[in-house]
Amino acid sequence: MTEGGKVIIFTAPSGAGKTTVVKHLLKHFDFLSFSISATTRSRRPHEINGLDYYFMDVIEFQNNIDAGSFLEWEEVYPGKFYGTLFSEVSRIWADDKHILFDVDVQGATSIKNYYTENALAVFIKPPSLQILIERLKTRGTESTESLGQRIERIKNELTYENRFDKILVNDILEVTLKEAEMIVEDFIKLND
């Protein structure tokens, strides 16, 4: 085994429900701990630094890249970087927990490639592109320009689904949450 426990990665296009699924799993399983990503995007009013994200400016993020501090990182949108710090992985494994990631498809691919058989990567798929776009509009967190950028990115991310270990269609939330629980339980039991 790698230096610690297992790695469970949930990935999806924006608005497909990965954060909802991840929050549910964290409440349901005490053996999981959330990997907090670093980002250069602006903090939203309800977000807390060190709890939702590690918020950094671009220079600090670049310094961490140069220092080799990231397991994975990406410039998701121009000037908007996201990444996973190795120190975050160490923090969770020091608590004897398995890591639960909520990351974009490129980050998920990188993490899966790094941890190979110790990692499970789950792609959450929306019932349709149109439903996903409606979810994003309803969320009300996007300007017209940023919504357009997200939609283009979503179309690309949907092409990644077959690169992951499991595909979970998020149509009926209660069913999706139960299926996610079973996927996690099966992976932890299979690899213990």
pLDDT average, residue stretch 33-39: 97
pTM of the model: 0.87
Return the CATH superfamily for domain 7-190.
P-loop containing nucleotide triphosphate hydrolases (3.40.50.300)
State the chain's mean pLDDT as an integer. Answer: 91
In the chain, where the domains are located: 7-190
pLDDT digits (tens, 9 = 90+) for 90-99: 999 999 999 9
Output the six-digit token pair for 14.
């924006």
Length of the chain: 192
Closest CA to 121 of 7, 9, 16, 26: 9
**Are 5 and 93 within 8 A, CB to CB?**
yes
